[in-house]
A and B are shown apart, each in its own frame.
Chain A
Amino acid sequence: MSTAAVAEHGTSHDDHGGGHGHTSTGLSNNKLAMWLFLGSECLLFGGLISTYMLYRGRHVKGPGPDQVFSIPYTSVSSFVLLMSSLTMVLAVAEAQKRNIDKAKLWMTVTAVLGATFVGGQVFEFTEFYRKGLGYTTSLFGSSFYTLTGFHGVHVTVGIIMLMATVGMLKSNKVPGDKAEVIELVGLYWHFVDIVWILIFTLVYLIPA
């Protein structure tokens, strides 16, 4: 359900009549909407994480977390994702200095790092599957794949948003304030990263 809404706020410019500086509070409509959306997303992930935590250690068959997780591997991919937040910050900074070309470059780097993370996740999932953890195997399997899958989909949506923005900047089809569009994509991207830090800590690092 989030997909539609994200791309919506990330790239649309509907704030007619109340553009920048004309709103009652001075905040931009798009940014306010993005913050509200992210607030809503907090509860989405809150629900999924709670489900995982409730079912921790309750599986009755199949491998458990300690039998499938490879902490060094996932640490590396988490690091990659964290770095992508850094490059996103750089992209936003360049955009605010009106260096749109450099911003496009950093956004591309961010997308590549994000794609590396998603690729790593796909590889990890196939590994787990080989070790006997299917989606239906156990409560652990179902809740783990659902939680991390949702996160993976969010990263993927973020990558699409980044690439779409880069493409639209190239062909000059971004209506409205370019720097703000980049900032909005950035907000979403950082949010998804923060969620991963939570997931990585709660799911991988704290032993069941």
Chain B
Amino acid sequence: MAIIEQPRTNVALPAGTGAPALVTPKEAKGMFARPVEPKGWRDWVFTVDHKKIGIMYGVVAFVFFIVGGLEAMLIRLQLAAPNGKVLSAEQYNQMFTMHATTMVFLFVMPMASAFANYFVPLQIGARDVAFPRINAFGLWTFVAGAIFVNLSWFLGGGADGGWFMYAPNSTKMFSPGHGVDFWAFGLQITGIASLTGAINLIVTCINMRAPGMSLFKMPIFTWMIMVVQFLLVFAMPVITVALFLLSFSRGFGGAFFDVKQGADPLLWQHLFWIFGHPEVYILVLPSFGIVSEVLPVFSRKPLFGYKFVAISGAAIGFVGWGVWAHHMFASGLGPISVLVFSMATMMIAVPTGVKIINWTLTMWGGKLRFTTAMLFAIGLIVEFTIGGLSGVTHAVAPSDTQQTDTYYIVAHFHYVLFGGAIFGLFSGFYYWWPKVFGRLLNERWGKANFWLMVIGMNLTFGPMHIVGLQGQPRRMYRYDESNVHARFWNAISTVGAFVLALGILCFIVNVVITHRSKNPAVKAPLDPWDARSLEWMTSNPPPAHNFDAIPTVHELDEFFHRKYAVDHETDEIKQIATAEQIMAEQMAHAEKDIHLPSPSYWPLVVSLSLPIIGFGVIYSHILIAVGALVTILGLFGWSMEPSVATKDDYEPPAPTDDAIKELTA
């Protein structure tokens, strides 16, 4: 199955010179040839370019946002009126479990990966990530895992144990279908994607920075991403253990959660939340990073206390490990543990508060421009603060004992997740769209999108505080008409959910009209926002090699400092260069000999072998062996393949340097 490709160097070789001396790909590899310069869809599927991978992460994640959103709409429809008949109790259980799983693992996390993949190398002035093929592997593994989890809908019903899947409730005895099996193995697969991605990005941040960029000159978004990747490296293995214990209990009869055998039901809870609490910071810190980029640009001021924001991000990441048991106050931990975790939880509010203050002071006295990106960033500050405040009330353990498992909790985490994570991501969409696609999203549709989302989310989740404090239990699949309060507020919540959905629809419409529009005004100028960081120091969208010349960094906000300087006589900030001039300067010094990593089949092969193993675990153990064999073969192929294609990978082989020299001499 040799794939015929054109040589990159188009030097016509006269018959008889050089060519026969070269080895053909068959001889060189003994296997099929490498996709050196694929076209069309193959250009995307076999790519190792961090920008294409970032875009694909984003597209797939957005599809799952819609899936998770539809699941949420079904939940809200069921609860719109008393005695809802939209879903049965079993379906309801599956719906909220899969809604949460989809939103957390298949939307927010991969969407953060999309931003991280695309922008981290650009922000640190690198040509790609440290391990481009591992990057491709991460993408396809995530896609494989995401599809795997959702296949359960068609193969006997989704998982139904709630997103934290407490065992023993999730063991075979209480959840006999295959839903939980798909869930456990699917998350295992997406976990591999997160782990490899995390290692890759940390090495990238640490090792691939442009000359002169010390850690404290790194853009704040990259900082937050780095903190998140450290959290992932240490949190993923813990959930891996938990998922293995669950799978082994269900598949092979392990006794881990069998209370009759003396098992401790708290084992799962501890393992899950040791992962789970860092996980909530994994969800929200990338968005913090995004708004920390957006606010300074649209306030025309540097980020207030950059170092504080960076360090408090790291502090949140660190303290985040010490608070897991605040999810378990009601489980009988004992008074001392409850006290300790309660204190730790209140402590974590401090670095979070520091951030909110920093953002506010960034805007203070700035020349604010209320673009959609800015509105979403401000929206995040407000909504996240509300969520943070209700969060502090759970930190007080006696208060939490009253609130736990009520809609008050549901309200809290939607304020922090929707108002925090999602608003940040949307801010990022509007801010970076011109960078990625070279087109500006429409501001009018953008504002409609923003306002509908803000109103929608407050209508949906605001009333949940009230019904929650009145005792409406979480995960309740219906209620009867006697409860007047519940009827009123639940109806409002459902209306709110539709407003929210309308807001998201505006975003989709915005994307479609922006990309359909023939109006030249949608084409983004080089520096549409008068931005500050390195990713704007290249064309929109950037070329495959990112920068014609790798910039040398002297300042935090390097791009800003190249454009502006203080006039010493008047003490005013004056523009000294335009973005176009800076680009021209770069092009004048363009590096000639750039070797980019080449596309490869192997990441895809290895990724696709994993769900085969998954089916094996669930249906037939023979498939485990088949899948493992494919994995090992894939890894062999991978490890023997150099990152950058050699000349003999081309068909016909590209002429060697010597041959070219001879010819051009």
Q: What residues make up the interface of A, taking CB atoms closer than 8 Å to B?
A: 1, 3-5, 7-18, 23-25, 27, 29, 32-33, 36-37, 39-44, 46-48, 51, 54-55, 58-61, 135-139, 141-143, 146, 160, 164, 168, 173, 175-176
How many residue-residue contacts, CB under 8 A, span A and B? Answer: 181
CB contact between A16 and one of B240, B261, B595, B638 (< 8 Å): that residue: B595
Considering the complex of A and B, which 8 residue pairs feature the smallest CB-CB distances, nearest first?
Answer: A47-B241, A11-B639, A23-B207, A44-B237, A136-B253, A14-B131, A175-B642, A43-B237
CB-based nearest B residue for A48: B241
Q: Is the CB of B606 within 8 A of A4?
A: yes
In angstroms, Cα B267 to Cα A47, docked, is: 10
Q: Is the CB of B240 within 8 A of A17?
A: no
Contacts of A10 in B (CB 8 A): 639
Q: Is the CB of A36 within 8 A of B632?
A: no
The yes or no answer to B577 lying at the interface (CB within 8 A) is: no
The yes or no answer to B202 lying at the interface (CB within 8 A) is: yes
Q: Is the CB of B234 within 8 A of A40?
A: yes
In angstroms, Cα B208 to Cα A149, docked, is: 38
Q: Is the CB of A27 within 8 A of B207?
A: yes
In angstroms, Cα B628 to Cα A24, docked, is: 37
Q: Is the CB of B199 within 8 A of A37?
A: yes
The yes or no answer to B262 lying at the interface (CB within 8 A) is: yes
**Contact flag A36-B240 (CB < 8 Å), given A7-B639, A8-B134, A139-B263:** no
In angstroms, Cα B636 to Cα A17, docked, is: 23
Q: Is the CB of B127 within 8 A of A43?
A: no
Q: Is the CB of B203 within 8 A of A29?
A: yes
The yes or no answer to B94 lying at the interface (CB within 8 A) is: no
Q: List 6 A-B contacts (CB under 8 A).
A: A4-B606, A7-B632, A13-B643, A39-B233, A40-B199, A47-B241
Residues 2-31 of B, flagged 1 when their CB comes within 8 A of A and 0 if not, give 000000000000000000000000000000
Residues 629-644 of B, flagged 1 when their CB comes within 8 A of A and 0 if not, give 0011001101111111
Q: Is the CB of A146 within 8 A of B245?
A: yes
Q: Is the CB of A17 within 8 A of B126?
A: yes
In angstroms, Cα B641 to Cα A12, docked, is: 8
Contacts of B632 in A (CB 8 A): 7, 160
In angstroms, Cα B209 to Cα A17, docked, is: 11
Q: Is the CB of A24 within 8 A of B130?
A: no
Q: Is the CB of B128 within 8 A of A16?
A: yes
The smallest C-beta distance from A170 to any residue of chain B, in angstroms, reads 12
Q: Is the CB of B208 within 8 A of A40?
A: no
Mark the stretch among B67-75, B190-198, B423-431 that contacts chain A.
B190-198
Given contacts A13-B642, A40-B237, A44-B238, could you give 5 more A-B pairs where the C-beta distance is less than 8 Å? A4-B610, A12-B133, A12-B134, A40-B233, A139-B255
The yes or no answer to B244 lying at the interface (CB within 8 A) is: yes
Residues 240-275 of B, flagged 1 when their CB comes within 8 A of A and 0 if not, give 111011001100111110101111100100010000
Q: Which of B127, B199, B248 has the most CB of A within 10 A?
A: B199
Q: Is the CB of A136 within 8 A of B241?
A: no
The yes or no answer to B236 lying at the interface (CB within 8 A) is: yes
Q: Is the CB of B207 within 8 A of A135?
A: no
The yes or no answer to B540 lying at the interface (CB within 8 A) is: no
In angstroms, Cα B235 to Cα A7, docked, is: 21
Contacts of B456 in A (CB 8 A): none
CB contact between B132 and one of A16, A46, A60 (< 8 Å): that residue: A16
Contacts of A46 in B (CB 8 A): 237-238
In angstroms, Cα B15 to Cα A14, docked, is: 35
Q: What residues make up the interface of B, taking CB atoms closer than 8 Å to A?
A: 126-128, 130-134, 137, 188, 191-192, 195-196, 198-200, 202-203, 206-209, 213, 233-238, 240-242, 244-245, 248-249, 252-256, 258, 260-264, 267, 271, 595-597, 606, 610, 628, 631-632, 635-636, 638-644
In angstroms, Cα B635 to Cα A168, docked, is: 13
Contacts of B254 in A (CB 8 A): 135-136, 142, 146
Q: Is the CB of B245 within 8 A of A1?
A: no
Q: Is the CB of B199 within 8 A of A43?
A: no
Q: Is the CB of B264 within 8 A of A141?
A: no
In angstroms, Cα B261 to Cα A58, docked, is: 8
CB contact between A164 and one of B199, B200, B639, B641 (< 8 Å): that residue: B639
Q: Is the CB of B253 within 8 A of A135?
A: yes
In angstroms, Cα B196 to Cα A3, docked, is: 12
CB contact between B640 and one of A23, A25, A136, A173 (< 8 Å): that residue: A173
The smallest C-beta distance from A62 to any residue of chain B, in angstroms, reads 10
Contacts of B248 in A (CB 8 A): 142, 146
Contacts of A138 in B (CB 8 A): 255, 261
Q: Is the CB of A33 within 8 A of B130?
A: yes
Q: Is the CB of A58 within 8 A of B262?
A: yes
The smallest C-beta distance from B47 to any residue of chain A, in angstroms, reads 14
Contacts of A17 in B (CB 8 A): 126-128, 208, 595
In angstroms, Cα B198 to Cα A33, docked, is: 10
The smallest C-beta distance from A129 to any residue of chain B, in angstroms, reads 14
CB contact between B130 and one of A15, A41, A168 (< 8 Å): that residue: A15
CB-based nearest B residue for A13: B643
**Contact flag A44-B261 (CB < 8 Å), given A18-B208, A27-B207, A36-B199:** no
In angstroms, Cα B199 to Cα A41, docked, is: 12
Q: Is the CB of A12 within 8 A of B195?
A: no
Q: Is the CB of B639 within 8 A of A12?
A: yes
Contacts of B192 in A (CB 8 A): 1, 4-5
CB-based nearest A residue for B641: A175
Q: Is the CB of A24 within 8 A of B128?
A: no
CB-based nearest B residue for A24: B209
Contacts of B271 in A (CB 8 A): 47, 51
Q: Is the CB of A40 within 8 A of B207?
A: no
